[in-house]
Amino acid sequence: MNEPLAVLKHRLLEAHNLQQQTRSVEQNILKASRHRLEIVEKEINKLRTRALTDYSAGDRYMEFTQEKGRLLNVIANSEARL
């Protein structure tokens, strides 16, 4: 009778540890995404005025704008899971 209880306790402890690890990884993802978002927003602001007249700047502006959208999704998902 004690053996099934010991197995159950062991599995619950494993599940708890996995939950803690997952939370830690999610926090790291959120932190990194927020940091990258700051960088991307600065680049967008730098390129904003040139994007209308310089094709290369316009292309980079669009790439950063798309990346910003993806980052906002990642941040929203991470916040929802935490």
Specify the pLDDT at position 70: 98
| pLDDT, block means (10 residues), the chain with 82 residues | 85 95 97 98 97 96 98 97 91
pTM: 0.83
Specify the pLDDT at position 1: 58
Specify the pLDDT at position 2: 78
Buried/exposed code over 31-66 (b: 16+ C-beta within 10 A; e: otherwise): eebeebbeebeebbeebeeebeeeeebeebbeebee
The alpha carbon torsion through 18, 21, 23, 24 (nearest 10 deg) reads 180
Say how far apart CA 60 and CA 66 lie, in whole Å. Answer: 10
Q: Where are the domains of the chain?
A: 2-81
Specify the pLDDT at position 48: 95
Q: What's the distance, CA 25 to chain centroid? A: 10
